[in-house]
């Protein structure tokens, strides 16, 4: 009997012990977190969920709308700054976790008064001052990244200043009115990021705040970081989310993440300023992997130097236009489309024809910020050179019916009744809205197609 009681006690203890062990390995919710430090300290406050809820400041009314990526998810202020879970443990075990909070954020430690703690030139995002706060350890990266497209958004800024009749970036951006600069910051800048937006924080477009308890992530997560910003024309296409499309072959066949093609050196930049992203020398090229393709089939032999690869291998793509910055949004709502036109950047890309996407801007896009009409709007086309991340080998243009010539699905073919097949693939002047014509007619295919196509 005594032996049975001992066995029963041992069995019960093991169940209890194992249960506790498993329970301790589960993520700890904010309400359950055990507080070990005084709230009169940076860490003590930011590890105490109830204290954060007690002292938090509500967000001001939102400005700028969701933009092309949709509405920004709302995350409560106290959730955005909570130090908790495995990410916080990683942070504390990392070299960054050994640095006092005030070294990076300034402010005052040793107080439970929020106003006092956030005084002393407090910095919410140290990487916004990367040369001062990150440069001592990451000197080379900071010097390269400070002028990068990722951090500065020079391509967007260039379009704004040139259409405003100002010199190109960077000088032209400094000459914008303060209202225009404010409008850019609120509506356009949320996806352009400093170091922390990729490596520590959740991107602003994803709600902002700490993404993983202040852990420093060396390689950003594709879905939770890259695609959060590159959603409308990046992740949207790559994951095949649009009706009638399928995921990119590089995802389905190879499970490539963004970093597989876009190197850290490209993303960090090379220190130079580029007014257009296709000028960046470190951008990946199809031929980096697909070498020797010039004569692998009839399509390549005919068009390898005439068309960009995307012209044949992309699927329908996300377009929109005529966006009012800070206003009612796009008058041309998002739609899936496909247009081949004349290459708008021949100085950068060598092809005669290219795949194009409609851009957001319109002459009165900035009317809410004091500019009724951009005075030099027509300086650039409203359709841009594009390289969608929705590549597949066999598309509607590369597949033809048995017995048909290889060009049957992509050349414009005149039918016996005078109508045309495949004409919808190409950008003609009559595809443009009235306000687009002067800016964009130089890249339409009107009177620029092969004579034998007999296109009227």
Query: Would you call 297 helix, strand, or coil by DSSP?
Result: coil
Q: Is the pLDDT of residue 51 over 50?
A: yes
In the predicted model, is pLDDT for residue 185 greater than 50?
A: yes
Cα–Cα distance, 345 to 372 (Å, whole number): 28
How wide is the angle at C-alpha 66 spanned by C-alphas 377 and 275, nearest 5°? Answer: 40
Q: Which of 193-197, 199-203, 231-235, 291-295 has the lowest mean pLDDT?
A: 231-235
pLDDT at residue 360 in the model: 84
Give the pair of three-digit tokens for residue 295. Answer: 């004569």
The secondary structure element, H or E, covering residue 420 is strand 420-421
What's the whole-number mean pLDDT along residues 347-363? Answer: 94
**86-140 tens-digit pLDDT:** 999 999 999 999 999 999 999 999 999 999 999 989 999 999 999 999 999 999 9
Cβ contact 86:213 at 8 Å: yes
| Alpha-carbon span 106 to 128, nearest angstrom | 13
Q: Which residue has the tokens 């850019």?
A: 184
Query: Average per-residue pLDDT in the chain?
Result: 89
Predicted local distance difference test score (pLDDT) of residue 12: 42
- Split at pLDDT 50, 70, 90, the class of 6 is very low
pLDDT digits (tens, 9 = 90+) for 149-174: 999 999 999 999 999 999 999 999 99
Q: Please give the Cα distance from 254 to 260 (Å, whole number).
A: 10
Mean pLDDT of 372-395: 96
- Secondary structure percentages of the chain, helix, strand, coil, to 5: 40, 10, 50
Backbone angles phi, psi at 302, to 5 degrees: -80, -35
Give the model's pLDDT for residue 188. Answer: 85
Per-residue pLDDT averaged across 37-66, rounded?
88
Contact 262, 256 (CB under 8 A): no
Model pLDDT for residues 222-246, shown as the tens digit of each residue: 998 999 888 877 888 999 998 899 9
Provide the pLDDT for residue 68. Answer: 58
User: What was the pLDDT predicted at 13?
Assistant: 40
Contact between residue 279 and residue 268 where contact means Cβ atoms under 8 Å apart: no
Q: In DSSP terms, which residues pair with 210 in a beta bridge? A: 201
How far, in Å, are 27, 75, 252, 389 from residue 300 at the CA level? 53, 49, 23, 20
Tell me if 196 sits within 8 A of 123, measured CB to CB: no
Structure tokens at 451: 């004579």
The pLDDT of residue 190 is above 80: no
- CA 28 and chain centroid, separation: 31
Q: Can you tell me the mean pLDDT for 70-89?
A: 91
As a residue count, the chain comes to 456
The pLDDT of 39-43, averaged and rounded, is 96
Question: What pLDDT sits at residue 61?
Answer: 78
CB 314 within 8 A of CB 425: no
CA distance 452 to 84: 68
Mean pLDDT lowest among 34-43, 193-202, 412-421 = 34-43
The alpha carbon torsion through 281, 284, 285, 291 (nearest 10 deg) reads: 120
Residue 356 pairs in a beta bridge with 339, 385
In this prediction the pTM is 0.86
Handedness of CA 165, 167, 168, 173 (dihedral sign): negative
pLDDT score recorded for residue 234 = 83
The count of other CB atoms within 10 Å of the CB of residue 13 is: 10
| pLDDT of 23 | 35
Helix, strand or coil, per DSSP, at residue 321: strand
Nearest partner of 226 among 250, 249, 256, 184, judged by Cα: 256
Residues 312-330, mean pLDDT to the nearest whole number: 85
> In the block, which residue shows the tokens 């306000």?
435
Output 71 or 90, whichever has higher pLDDT.
90
What span, in angstroms and rounded, lies between the C-alpha atoms of 119 and 366?
Answer: 36
pLDDT value of residue 151? 93
pLDDT band at 64 (very low <50, low <70, confident <90, very high): low
What average pLDDT score do residues 400-422 get? Answer: 94
Q: What pLDDT score does 32 carry? A: 47
Q: Is the dihedral of CA 263, 269, 270, 276 positive or negative?
A: positive
- pLDDT above 90: percentage of residues in the chain: 75
Confidence check: pLDDT of 182 > 50: yes
* pLDDT value for 128: 92
CA distance readout (Å), 341 to 19, 63, 245, 379, 444: 65, 36, 22, 18, 5
Residue 375 has pLDDT above 50, yes or no: yes
Question: Which string of b and e fits 277-305 if b means at least 16 CB within 10 Å?
Answer: bebbeeeeeeeeeeeeeeeeeebbeebee
Q: What is the spatial distance between Cα 70 and Cα 59, in angstroms, rounded to a whole number?
A: 19
Query: With 70 as the cut, is the pLDDT of residue 328 above it?
Result: yes
Residues 14-28 pLDDT 10s: 433 334 333 333 444
Domain boundary assignment for the chain: 285-453
């Amino acid at each position: 009997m005594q032996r049975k009681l001992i066995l029963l006690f041992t069995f019960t203890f093991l169940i209890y012990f194992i249960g506790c062990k498993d329970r301790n390995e589960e993520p700890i919710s904010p309400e359950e977190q055990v507080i070990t430090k005084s709230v009169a300290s940076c860490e003590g406050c930011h590890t105490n969920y109830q204290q954060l809820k007690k002292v938090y400041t509500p967000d001001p009314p939102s400005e700028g709308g969701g933009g092309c990526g949709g509405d920004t998810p709302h995350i409560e202020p106290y959730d955005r700054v909570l130090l908790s879970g495995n990410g916080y443990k990683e942070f504390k075990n990392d070299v960054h976790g050994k640095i006092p909070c005030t070294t990076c954020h300034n402010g005052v430690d040793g107080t439970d008064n929020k106003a006092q703690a956030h005084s002393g030139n407090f910095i919410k995002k140290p990487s916004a001052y990367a040369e001062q706060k990150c440069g001592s350890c990451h000197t080379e990266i900071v010097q390269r990244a400070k002028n990068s497209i990722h951090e500065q958004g020079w391509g967007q800024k260039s379009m704004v200043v040139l259409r405003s009749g100002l010199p190109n970036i960077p000088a032209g951006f400094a000459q914008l009115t303060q209202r225009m600069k404010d409008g850019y910051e609120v509506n356009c800048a949320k996806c352009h990021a400093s170091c922390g937006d990729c490596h520590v924080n959740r991107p602003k477009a994803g709600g902002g705040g700490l993404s993983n308890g202040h852990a420093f992530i060396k390689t950003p997560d594709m879905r939770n970081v890259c695609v959060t910003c590159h959603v409308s024309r990046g992740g949207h296409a790559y994951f095949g989310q649009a009706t009638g499309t399928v995921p990119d072959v590089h995802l389905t066949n190879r499970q490539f993440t963004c970093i597989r093609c876009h190197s850290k050196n490209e993303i960090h930049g090379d220190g130079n300023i580029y007014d257009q992203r296709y000028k960046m020398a470190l951008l990946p090229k199809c031929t980096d992997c697909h070498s020797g393709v010039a004569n692998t089939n009839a399509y390549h032999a005919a068009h390898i130097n005439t068309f960009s690869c995307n012209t044949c291998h992309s699927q329908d793509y996300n377009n929109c236009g005529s966006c009012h910055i800070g206003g009612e949004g796009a008058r041309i709502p998002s739609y899936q489309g496909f247009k081949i036109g004349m290459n708008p950047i021949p100085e950068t890309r060598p092809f005669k024809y290219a795949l194009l996407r409609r851009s957001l801007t319109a002459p009165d896009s900035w009317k809410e910020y004091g500019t009724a009409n951009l005075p030099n709007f027509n300086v650039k086309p409203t359709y841009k050179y594009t390289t969608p991340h929705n590549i597949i080998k066999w598309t509607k243009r590369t597949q033809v019916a048995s017995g048909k010539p290889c060009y049957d699905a992509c050349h414009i073919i005149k039918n016996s009744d005078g109508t045309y097949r495949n004409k919808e693939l190409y950008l003609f002047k009559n595809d443009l809205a009235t306000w687009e014509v002067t800016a964009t007619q130089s890249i339409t295919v009107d009177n620029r197609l092969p004579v034998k196509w007999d296109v009227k």
